[in-house]
Amino acid sequence: MQLPRDAVLLRIFVGEDARFEHQPLFEAIVLKARELQLAGATVLRSPMGYGQPRRLHTTKILNLSEDLPIVIEIVDAQDKIDGFLPVLNQMMTSGLVTQEKVQVLQYGKPAPATKD
């Protein structure tokens, strides 16, 4: 699979406890992105954050939260991301979704060096 140099980063912010059809939402999103053959997805678990209700979620012992912030990043061509957004909308009941243009510098293994 080849990615265009000019691509899109879809960033999805959800709580660790968010669910979709009996599984963690972040897992359901990544599996759906894979099923739809998007180029790649990464899940990042954050030690601290807050969202619209302004409730702090943290790993600090005195304020330990079980619903830590999760960020899912998906990179692909604009048309593939646009096709994924309606699916994502069906899966999410809350959270934040952002999109930004990115330049892909490398995807997969670099080409082998050639001898001159």
For residue 115 the two structure tokens come to: 């001898």
Residue whose token pair is 């678990």:
45
Query: pTM of the full predicted structure?
Result: 0.82
For the chain, domain boundaries: 6-96
How much is the pLDDT for 33?
98
The reported pLDDT for the residue numbered 54 is 65
Q: Which fold has domain 6-96?
A: Alpha-Beta Plaits (3.30.70)
Give the C-alpha distances (Å, rounded to integers) separating 29 from 4, 20, 78: 23, 9, 18
pLDDT 10s per residue in the chain (116 long)?
678 889 999 999 998 889 999 999 999 999 999 999 999 999 999 877 777 666 666 665 555 556 788 999 999 999 999 999 999 999 999 899 999 999 998 887 766 666 65
